[in-house]
Structure formats: C-alpha cells, structure tokens
C-alpha cells in the first residue's frame, strides 16, 4: 500500500507510504483520493489528518514516473489537491522531516498545517528547470508573503519549519510528535466552519508592480541561460494580479512551456544522471561495504592536500605521508591557509575549523599509516614512481585496506599488479582543486573487488562528490576525451585561429573556461609531458606542435606568469600575448599552411564533436556504463555548460545525423583522420536514434 488509511477516534489518518520520500506517484495519489472518499463517506469521521511514514512527509513528485504517461494520469496532483481543498471536513497536514515540491503543494491544499521543528520546507522545481505546477506559485505567497514566497520559489532552497513558524503556512510548529499535535488540533477544529482555505487569502502588498519589476531585473541578471527563474516571477506575479483560478491556469501554461525547453530537459538529465552514476549493474545494492573510519594520503602537494581536506570535511581522520619534512610542512601550511580563507569568508565556524585542521596530521613514515582503512596515492604521474609506492603500501597496509591511486591516465591494472592484493586496488581520480571539484572518477580494475567498488561509491557520496565509474584505458573517461578536444584546439591555431578567439567562442557556448586558459591554469608542462609519452606510444596520432613550441619557450602558464597568455603579478587575468600569436602565425607559415578566417561556430563544433565522438568510442568499449555517466564527468569535472546537459546529451539535441554530417565535412579538411565517426555514433545516426 502506498498510503494507509486508519481511523483514530473521530479522525481519519491517511499515511503516505511510498519510500524513500513518499513520492506522489500515481498509486499514492489514487490512495489519497480513496482515503478522502472513505473519510467523507463515514459519518463518524469529523476530521482528516494526512501525514507521511518513515523519513518524510513527502518529497514531491515520484521521480520514477518522470517523463512517463503515469505522471499525468488521473488523479493528477491537481485533482488530489482539489479533493482535499473542497472537503467538507477539516484536513490537517502533519509535516515532519521533508516537505518539498508536490508534498508542500499538497499541504497547502489542506485547511491546517502542523510541522515538526527541523522539517525542511521547499519548492525546489526551479532546480529542474521548471516551476511548481500544482498551485505552489499561487498558494505559497498567500501564506508566507509575496517577497518570502518569491525568494523560496526562485531559489528552490529548503527552509527549516521553525523559520516559517510566524507565517500563515503553519498553525503550529512543535518539538515533539507531530501526529499527536495534528490529532489534538483536529479535535479542536472539527466543528469550525467555514473551513479556512489558502486560496481565499488575499495578498496585500502595496506597490507590488514595482517589486515584481525589481525582481524581474534581479532574476534576469542571475538566471543566465535558464528561463525558469524568470517564469517563476511571472507565475508568482499572477498570484497578486489574477483571480485564483486564472492564476492556477497561467501557472500550468508556464509549467507546460518550461517542461519542453532544452534547458529543463538538460537539468532533468543531469538530475537522473547523477543518481544513475552510483548504480553498477553487476554490483548489487546490498553489497557489504568496508568501514572507512580513517584514511591516509601519499603526497602533500596541491592534489594530496586537497584530497586530505575531503576526508577531514567528512569527519574522517587522515594522515598525510611525505618523504621530506619541508614538503610536509609546506603541504600542511597550505591546507591550514585554505581553511583560514574559508573561515574569513564566514563559510566555516571556528569550531569546524579547529575540528577539520585537527583531523589532518602528517608523517614521514610509511609504518604510521599502516592501520588506515583507505590510502590514496597522489604522487607524480609516472609508472616507475607509482610502482615504488604500491610495493611499499603492499608491505605496510593492513589486510582489507583499500589501496587507491589518484592517477589521471595510467593503467590501474598495472598498478594493481605491483601488489599481492589486486582486489583491493582501485583508481580514485580527483580533479583539481580536489577540495572544490565535484567529480570523482572511480576506476575499476580487472580484479577490483565488488565490495571495494561499492565502498568507493559510498565514500564519494560521504565526501560530497559525484562518483562516476570508469573502466581502465588511457585517460579513463574525462582525460581520454579532453585529449581529442585539445588536439582540435591545436589544429585550429595552425589553420587560422588564435588562443583568445578559441577560448572566447567556447566560453560563449557556455564552458567555464576555454582550452588555452585551462592549459595555463593546469600547467602546460603537464600536457607536454603526456604528449612526449604519446609520441613514443602512439606515433600514428598527430598533434599540433604549437603547444610544444610554447613549452620550449618556458611558458608553462600561470605558475610562470606566461603561457598562451601573459599574466601580471598578482593578477590571474589572461592578456593576449603578441609573442605567442607571432609564434603561432610563424608556425603556420613553416608548415606551409595558408591561414584562414575560422568562424566561432566551427570552433565550437570541432571542440564539442571531438568530445562526442571519443565519448561514443568509450561507450562502445564499455569504459563508461552509460552515456549519462560521460555527461556527468563533463558537467562536474570539466566545466561543460549545465544548460546543455553534457556532450552526449547535447549531441542528442543537435541530432546525431547532423553531428555525423558535420564531421564528414571536417574530414575533408586537414587532419581528416581525426573525424572518422565511432561505429556506435555512425550506427545510432543511421537508425535515427540517440545516446540517451
């Protein structure tokens, strides 16, 4: 049963029971209507209480029904709310833990609402690119005020119930058992008539036109490419300017319009993609996990320090191992400084600061880390160095400890072979800065234990990362794809573009940073080191030599105050470099290439479709489990624009046939060999299908 019906004295209690958050799926909606009919048809029942079982009142729509016919099947949520609102017996919502989205809209349809302190109240639909579609924009401002209601709807941010205690949203906010309080209120109001209804409240806000216009201007500046926040203002405006039923109709029109937008589809894709990423078909959800109560990190550099902070932030004590006291002291001082900056900004309390700094300690001895439940190696990206570290870890680490490598490109199977326990070895590829970036690529070796993989996915959640599973290949998902993107960026320079034009074009498309600004930030010498390895291992793959020439000039990026751009002391702003531009133009001449004007559209297509094509190879080879996993890697680790949903989703919106046709055009130019469509991409395009 998705909702239980019981009679307690003269009060009928309808308890939503659809774990984990009592989502308002079709079966639950039907059960509420059924319960209401029973209560209204029973002369002994004088009032109705609606509450939720388990850990929520209701989290809103049942996400399992999104984009299915069941989502709109009668009784819809509108129908359920109408049944509740038109009841001739008082209906009381007993709210605890979570009351969000459709759950809050249902509560607003009740005559009275009692909430438990700490219950999280929200209308978060804007985060999926839509707006509350079952009266939320019309009813919430009537009970919490126009300004507060608009802020809640436009931000989608949860508010604890006690902050709303003085508003008309709640009749009572209680410390104890909310059902008891609701039953007591039901007894008090059983004979009250007429029944109070939120829809009958008038919004009194002098000069509301000026407020709504000010809100539109503010929201427009902050919403960027997303249409939903501005539509939320329009819908809330209708609560003041229209009759209630007209406002509901208008809200519905805006909702239907937003559901169809690419931006909303992209946000919903990301929402489901994040949840899907944690599921591995051959690893059951009830796989026993290894306990992670302590951690160790090898290397106190930028990456090692950032990784250690993740553990400390989650309350896990961590030891950092370095070879030299000076390097250790420097690493610990950097961590402390990072926390001090957060403290100064007011984003961290003194208590949390002390706790986190206290959880991170340093050592120069491998023996000191032997009892850690997990160790993450963050040393130089060289197989010889990794071999030394893993042989030593195999000697000192306790049985059952997880041995993880932060490698960004190297063979995790080979790393595992340096130990006598390959089942305990996994790749945990953090992204820089590791304490900020959301992505964690979890690289599953041939012999990685299922419990190790399941534990790593659970750990990702604990340290607030989006964990995406990758198979073993050169560069895994993210860096293998970015290599093709970077190759095209280099070829564009040879053919007629300059770094600033390439960066501006892709940033206008929505990327956080273009390839050349990204290179300067990460360090151009890192790419140089990898390319030198590629020249030996894959001589058939061509690269532009412009990046090598740049590095030969000693221009490694921000760390040398000179890269693709010039930098001024204490200023991270990139300034176009005449020296670099002259070098690029001369290189084209040396190659005998006549430079041409390249459009921004071509730049974007070449960079993005290079990602898409490599993503298709990765999918076909089984390195990634699903197209949405690739999108999650790019949305959370590489600054791909969220409103475009990731490279594979974006390709779907363009149409795979159009992608392949454009690639065929590029194949007729220089370096045409880079544009051979992956078999999966060619097949899906020919069949008129998509990745997702």
**Which amino acids are annotated catalytic?**
105, 125
Pairing of strands 98-100, 120-122: parallel
CB 160 within 8 A of CB 120: yes
CB 369 within 8 A of CB 321: yes
In the chain, what are the helix, strand and coil shares in percent, each to the nearest 5? 55, 15, 35
Distance, in Å, from the CA atom of 618 to the CA atom of 213, rounded to the nearest integer, reads 48
Closest CA to 443 of 433, 430, 428: 428
Closest CA to 474 of 439, 429, 519: 429
Q: Is residue 367 exposed (0-12), middle (13-18) or buried (19+ Cβ within 10 Å)?
A: exposed
Three-state DSSP at 273 gives helix
Closest CA to 370 of 466, 298, 455, 457: 298
Cis peptide before 75 (omega within 30 of 0): yes
**What is the DSSP code string of 383-450?**
HHHHHHHHHHHHHHSPTT-EEEE--SSS-HHHHHHTSS-GGGEEEEEE-SSTTT--EEEEE--TT--H
How many CB atoms within 10 Å of residue 412? 28
Query: What DSSP character marks residue 671?
Result: T
Pairing of strands 439-443, 295-298: unpaired
CB 454 within 8 A of CB 287: yes
Q: Which helix (H) or strand (E) holds 459?
A: helix 450-462
CB 165 within 8 A of CB 66: no
C-alpha count within 13 angstroms, C-beta hemisphere, residue 564: 25
Distance, in Å, from the CA atom of 361 to the CA atom of 377, rounded to the nearest integer, reads 16
Three-state DSSP at 48 gives strand
Give exposure, 623-658, as e/b (b: 16+ Cβ within 10 Å). bbbbbbbbbbbbbbbbbbbbbbbbbbbbbbebebee
**What are residue 407's phi and psi, to 5 degrees?**
-55, 145
CB 92 within 8 A of CB 112: yes
Distance, in Å, from the CA atom of 427 to the CA atom of 407, rounded to the nearest integer, reads 7
Alpha-helix residue ranges (DSSP H) falling in 110-226: 136-144, 146-155, 178-189, 208-223
How many CB atoms within 10 Å of residue 556? 21
């Amino acid at each position: 049963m998705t909702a239980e019906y019981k009679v307690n004295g003269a009060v009928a209690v309808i308890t939503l029971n659809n774990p984990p958050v009592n989502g308002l799926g079709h079966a639950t909606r039907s059960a509420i209507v059924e319960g209401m009919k029973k209560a209204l048809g029973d002369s002994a029942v004088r009032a109705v209480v609606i509450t939720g079982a388990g850990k929520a009142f209701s989290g809103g729509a049942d996400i399992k029904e999104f984009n299915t016919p069941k989502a709109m099947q009668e009784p819809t949520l509108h129908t359920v709310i109408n049944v509740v609102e038109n009841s001739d017996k008082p209906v009381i919502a007993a709210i605890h833990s979570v009351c969000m989205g459709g759950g809050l809209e249902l509560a607003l349809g009740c005559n009275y609402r009692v909430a438990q302190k700490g219950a999280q109240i929200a209308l978060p639909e804007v985060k999926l690119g839509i707006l509350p579609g079952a009266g939320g924009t019309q009813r919430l401002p009537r009970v919490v005020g126009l300004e507060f209601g608009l802020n809640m709807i436009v931000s989608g941010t949860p508010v604890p119930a006690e902050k709303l205690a003085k508003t008309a949203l709640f009749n009572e906010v209680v410390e104890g058992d909310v059902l008891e309080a609701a039953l007591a209120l039901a007894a008090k109001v059983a004979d009250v008539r007429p029944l109070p209804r939120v829809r009958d409240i008038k919004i009194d806000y002098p000069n509301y036109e000026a407020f709504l216009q000010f809100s539109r201007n503010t929201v427009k500046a902050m919403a960027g490419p997303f249409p939903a926040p501005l539509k939320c203002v329009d819908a809330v405006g209708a609560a003041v300017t229209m009759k209630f039923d007209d406002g509901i109709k208008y809200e519905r029109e805006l909702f239907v319009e937003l559901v169809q937008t690419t931006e909303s589809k992209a946000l919903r894709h990301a929402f489901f993609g994040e949840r899907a990423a944690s599921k591995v078909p051959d690893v059951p959800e009830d796989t026993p996990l290894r306990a992670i109560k302590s951690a160790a990190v090898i290397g106190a550099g930028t990456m090692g320090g950032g990784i250690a902070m993740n553990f400390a932030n989650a309350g896990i004590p961590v030891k950092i191992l370095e070879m030299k006291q000076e390097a250790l002291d420097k690493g610990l001082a950097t961590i402390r400084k990072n926390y001090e900056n957060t403290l100064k900004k007011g984003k961290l309390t003194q208590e949390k600061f002390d706790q986190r700094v206290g959880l991170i300690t340093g050592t120069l001895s491998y023996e000191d880390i032997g009892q850690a439940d997990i160790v993450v190696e963050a040393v130089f990206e060289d197989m010889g160095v990794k071999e030394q570290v893993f042989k030593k870890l195999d000697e000192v680490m306790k049985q059952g400890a997880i041995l993880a490598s932060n490698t960004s490109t190297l063979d995790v199977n080979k790393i595992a072979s340096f130990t006598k326990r390959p089942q305990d070895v996994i790749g945990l590829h953090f992204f820089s800065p590791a304490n900020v970036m959301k992505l964690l690529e979890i690289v599953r070796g041939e012999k990685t234990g299922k419990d190790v993989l399941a534990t790593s996915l659970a750990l990702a959640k604990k340290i607030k990362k989006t964990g995406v599973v990758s198979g073993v290949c050169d560069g895994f998902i993210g860096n293998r794809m970015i290599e093709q993107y970077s190759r095209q960026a280099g070829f564009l320079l040879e053919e007629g573009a300059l770094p600033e034009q390439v960066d501006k074009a892709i940033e206008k498309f929505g990327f956080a940073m273009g390839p050349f600004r990204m290179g300067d930030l990460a360090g151009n010498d890192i790419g140089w080191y990898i390319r030198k390895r590629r020249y030996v291992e894959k001589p058939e793959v061509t690269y532009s030599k412009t990046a090598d020439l740049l590095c030969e000039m000693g221009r490694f990026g921000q760390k040398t105050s000179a890269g693709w751009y010039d930098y001024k002391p204490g200023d991270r702003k990139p300034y176009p470099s005449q020296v670099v531009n002259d070098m690029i133009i001369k290189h084209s001449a040396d190659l005998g290439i006549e430079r041409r004007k390249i459009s921004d559209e071509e730049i974007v297509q070449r960079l993005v479709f290079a990602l898409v094509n490599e993503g298709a190879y990765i999918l076909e080879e089984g390195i990634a489990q699903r197209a949405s996993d690739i999108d999650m890697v790019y949305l959370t680790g590489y600054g791909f624009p969220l409103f475009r949903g990731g490279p594979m989703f974006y390709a779907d919106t363009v149409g795979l046939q159009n992608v392949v046709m454009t690639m065929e055009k590029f194949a007729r130019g220089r370096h045409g060999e880079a544009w051979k469509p992956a078999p999966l991409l060619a097949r899906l395009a020919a069949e008129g299908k998509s990745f997702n």
